[in-house]
């Protein structure tokens, strides 16, 4: 593949995933695209309060289940997280790898969602708890976690 065609491919991929990024950004998620942004979010922005980090993905379960369920859960939940951020697996690889260092004890999973309270991981929703379920089930799962951990 020539450099010109590689650049064209990367540009096409960027255009293809932009709506998938925008879906969360338009729901007030802060997009973290570099390891430095990830570290700043974890070390400065979520020291206190509640936070939700979404590891976004291009897969069908992200589009049809995860993103709609996560957005609905924060818009309708009584205990919705105060801080919202997202990294994009497979696109912003270094940022995603850095974010995963804050999710200790769990293997890499995308899409997924991690809940933090006062900067500490309190709950993790892996792909296995998303894929194969309907959006309403995932919304209920998230709301139950918010109520339990974000009181």
Alpha-carbon separation of residue 29 from 12, 47, 82, 109 (angstroms): 24, 17, 10, 19
Alpha-carbon separation of residue 101 from 14, 15, 35, 48, 118 (angstroms): 25, 28, 10, 19, 17
Active-site residue list: 59, 61
DSSP one-letter string for 105-148:
TS---SSEEEEEETTEEEEEE-GGGTTTS-HHHHHHHHHHHHHH
Q: 3-state DSSP call for residue 4? A: helix
Backbone angles phi, psi at 116, to 5 degrees: -130, 145
């Amino acid at each position: 593949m020539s450099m010109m065609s590689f650049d064209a491919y990367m540009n096409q991929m960027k255009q293809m995933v932009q709506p998938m990024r925008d879906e969360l950004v338009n729901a007030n998620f802060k997009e973290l695209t570099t390891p430095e942004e990830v570290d700043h979010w974890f070390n400065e922005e979520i020291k206190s309060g509640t936070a939700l980090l979404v590891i976004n993905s291009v897969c069908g379960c992200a589009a049809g289940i995860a993103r709609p369920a996560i957005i609905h859960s924060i818009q309708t939940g009584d205990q919705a997280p105060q801080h919202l951020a997202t990294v994009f697996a497979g696109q912003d690889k270094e940022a995603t790898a850095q974010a995963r260092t804050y999710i200790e004890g769990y293997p890499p999973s995308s899409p997924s969602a991690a809940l933090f309270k006062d900067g500490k991981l309190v709950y993790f929703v892996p792909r296995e708890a998303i894929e194969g379920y309907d959006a309403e089930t995932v919304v209920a799962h998230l709301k139950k976690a918010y109520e339990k951990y974000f009181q």
